[in-house]
Amino acid sequence: MVMLLQSELHVSKLFNHPNIVPYKATFIADNELWVVAPFMGYGSARDLIGTHFMDGMSELAIAYILQGTLKALSYIHQMGYVHRSVKASHILISVDGKVYLSGLRSILSMINHGQRLKVVHDFPKYSIKVLPWLSPEVLQQNLQGYDAKSDIYSVGITACELANGHVPFKDMPATQMLLEKLNGTVPCLLDTTTIPAEELTMKTSRSVPDSGIGESSIASNVRTANGEQHPYNRTFSPHFHSFTEQCLQKNPALRPSAAALLSHSFFKQIKRRASEALPELLRPVTPITNFEGAQAQDPSGIFGLVSNLEQLEVDDWDF
């Protein structure tokens, strides 16, 4: 874990991009390593779908979120790195609606002795929490290895996560998940084009979320609901379906690059800056902006410590 933290802090100093979370300072207090980053008033995209958008976000909100994510990924790939941990919980949204990619702890350099490698073979440590998002080629752990296109697969899974309100493959044992991915099972966006019409007259039970990878699982997880509208009785655009399908190609060579995806027709619906549009699209969610009273509940004096960070000289600290 120490090596992962060291790598994360080192990489954070190398990166400078408006869609990557910047670290303002790092310091040690009482044998604890503290990393200070800008406050994100809306939390993560995972927080939002877990508390307000349980059946998925609107397509336009997802477009803004994924556009910011892809801009960050394009930069990371150009710098010679693979992120390896793209998921909704690592996509943060600031109080002014700006999108940031975090989760640099699992990042891996594809530069070796000054040369960019075509593929890498390292399996992410502590990867149990990101298994549903990992691409087939990463999970396969064979001699063919993987490259930056593995992150694109994770973007596709994240698109399903944001649209459906839950993660594909999440309800499966790890072995079954691996077999499904290696056999080419492709998750999908759940709407009127992917769910049979007769099932849209029923209400999905949230107690057992559908994995989003097949009609049989949908049918097994529904029950009548006194006339309530099915949460997936909506229709996403063909552009959104196309975007997701391209990201989730089993063959990584068939997946577009992050830079190419930014030109996908899915993003043509974006007419304004994220900072102008996202706060409106995320209503009724209210970002956290008020910290009054927080210092009264600060027995360890952390707020006082942080307030003096500008006086600390940390450039020479060795973590």
Q: How does pLDDT run across 2-45, given as a tens digit for each residue?
A: 676 777 778 888 899 999 999 888 888 888 888 889 999 999 99
- Please give the pLDDT value at position 305: 52
pTM: 0.84
In the chain, domain spans: 41-189+236-287
- Please give the pLDDT value at position 46: 97
CA dist., res. 315 & res. 187, Å (int): 45
Superfamily in which the 41-189+236-287 domain is placed by CATH: Transferase(Phosphotransferase) domain 1 (1.10.510.10)
Counting as low any pLDDT under 70, the low residues of the chain are 1-2, 4, 202-228, 291-319
Contact (CB, 8 A) for 67 and 274: yes
- Please give the pLDDT value at position 207: 43
